[in-house]
Structure 1
Amino acid sequence: MNTVWLIFLVLGALTFLTRFVFIALWGRLRLPAWVQRALNFVPVAVLSAIILPELVLNEGHLNLALDNPRLLAGAAAVLVAYRTRSILLTILAGMAVFWVLRWGMGG
């Protein structure tokens, strides 16, 4: 049991230090303009990496068919996001389309 606690402490310290270094250096560190521009795309890339597999994978298999309610709801959400630029409307539209399709497809 002591080994487990030691591992927890070491991993916790490493996690803290890797994050603290960037926070402590944030005001002193000058990043090139191209790095700052690239960092603007990090949230979109991370969110896409999380959401896309949920939309196109069904039980571990790629499902790009029109009977995939998640994919269609995701497409509807993208359209709403593009047109309105509203996070709330995007979520509401995507969920509404998903629920209607799931109900209509009997799933």
Structure 2
Amino acid sequence: MGTLNLWLILIIGGLATYLMRLSFILIFQHVQMPLSWVRVLRLVPPAVFSAIVFPELLVRDGSVQLSLSNLRLIAGLLAAVIALKTRNVFITIASGMVILWLLQWVVPMIH
């Protein structure tokens, strides 16, 4: 596959995604959704976030690990504390990554 074809596929895919999302914005800007729907839709981002993050933090080698040897869990908990203190997504993500890298570097030295 040539480079031009790859770029064409990426551009068309990006445009299709953009137009699909824009269509919902344009449709629902004039429609008043029922309050029950609004309440339910507020729960979608935390549910999606939990479904992505918790397996990464809790599951190691196919089983849930809640021990101190689970460095991702420790880094995630420390990042959660930082998130509560700073309310800044970038600082939270960056600090969580740095904490995990430091733990992965320091812990093998201890053992």
Structure 2 length normalisation: TM-score?
0.70
- Pick one of 58, 73, 76 that aligns with 1:74: 76
AA aligned opposite 1:40: R
Number of the residue aligned with 2:10: none
- Alpha-carbon distance, 1:66 to partner: 0.7
User: What is the DSSP-based 3-state SS (H/G/I as helix, E as strand, rest coil) of the residue aligned with 2:29?
Assistant: coil
- Pick one of 87, 95, 98 that aligns with 1:96: 98
Number of the residue aligned with 2:63: 61
Unaligned runs of 5+ in 1: 1-15
- Alpha-carbon distance, 1:77 to partner: 0.8
Residues 10-29 of structure 1 mapped to structure 2, 5 A cutoff = 22=24, 25-29=27-31
Structure 1 length normalisation: TM-score?
0.72
Once residues 67 and 25 of structure 1 are traced to their aligned partners in structure 2, the CA distance between those partners, rounded to angstroms, is: 50
AA aligned opposite 1:62: V
Instruction: Report Cα offsets for 1:73-100 as digits up to 9, x if no partner.
Output: 0001110111110001101111111011
Once residues 21 and 73 of structure 1 are traced to their aligned partners in structure 2, the CA distance between those partners, rounded to angstroms, is: 39
Percent identity, aligned pairs only?
38
Number of the residue aligned with 2:87: 85
AA aligned opposite 1:95: M
Aligned residues: 93
Residues 35-46 of structure 1 mapped to structure 2, 5 A cutoff = 35-46=37-48
AA aligned opposite 2:101: W
Unaligned runs of 5+ in 2: 1-16
Kindly report structure 1 stretches of 4+ aligned residues shifted beyond 4 Å: 18-24
Q: CA RMSD in A?
A: 2.5
- Pick one of 24, 30, 33 that aligns with 1:31: 33
